[in-house]
Amino acid sequence: MPHPIDIHVGRRLRQRRRLLGLTQEKLAHAVEIRFQQIQKYESGANRISASRLWSLAKALDVSVAYFFEGLNGNGAGAEPDAGFAPRRAYGFADAPAETVLEDKETIDLVRYYYQLNEEPRRRLLDLARALSGDD
């Protein structure tokens, strides 16, 4: 059974890959492995070695620490933090922490949002706020 930290690191890998719009194949090619290995990393089935984590971080343009963000505590007993702070700040308390950023639709929305210029981004945010009924 996969360790909770391996699952967390795999989720962070998947989130970043999707946010950048990369397929498993493209990421695998960038770090010179097979896409099946990326699948195993993302599911937590295989642990990621330090050197591979370094290569993945470089390919995804993040620090190695990125993969461990959101963990509560240290050591082997550390588990993902269910209270992930950005969720609390924006009222997502009813959605499971680990699934909010795993939804492909959410990742696509964030990616496309940041491709917009400042004015359309502001208007889109205002529209979303109005549609949600949050004054």
Per-10-residue mean pLDDT of the chain, 135 residues long, equals: 92 92 95 97 95 97 94 57 42 51 80 89 89 77
List of residues 6+ apart from 104 with CB closer than 8 A: 18
Domain boundaries, the chain: 4-102
Whether this model's pTM surpasses 0.85: no
Q: What angle do CA 73, 79, 23 make, to 5 degrees?
A: 120
Tell me, what's the pLDDT at 94? 47
| DSSP 8-state secondary structure symbol assigned to residue 48 | P
CB 98 within 8 A of CB 9: no
- The whole-angstrom distance between residue 113's C-alpha and the CA centroid of its chain comes to 16
CATH of region 4-102: 1.10.260.40
Tell me, what's the pLDDT at 6? 94
Tell me, what's the pLDDT at 57? 97
Tell me, what's the pLDDT at 85? 41
Tell me, what's the pLDDT at 114? 87
Tell me, what's the pLDDT at 59? 96
Q: Which DSSP helix (H) or strand (E) runs through 79?
A: strand 79-80
Tell me, what's the pLDDT at 73? 60
| Angle in degrees, 0-180, between the axes of helices 104-115 and 118-132, rounded to the nearest 10 | 140
Tell me, what's the pLDDT at 103? 77
Tell me, what's the pLDDT at 86? 40
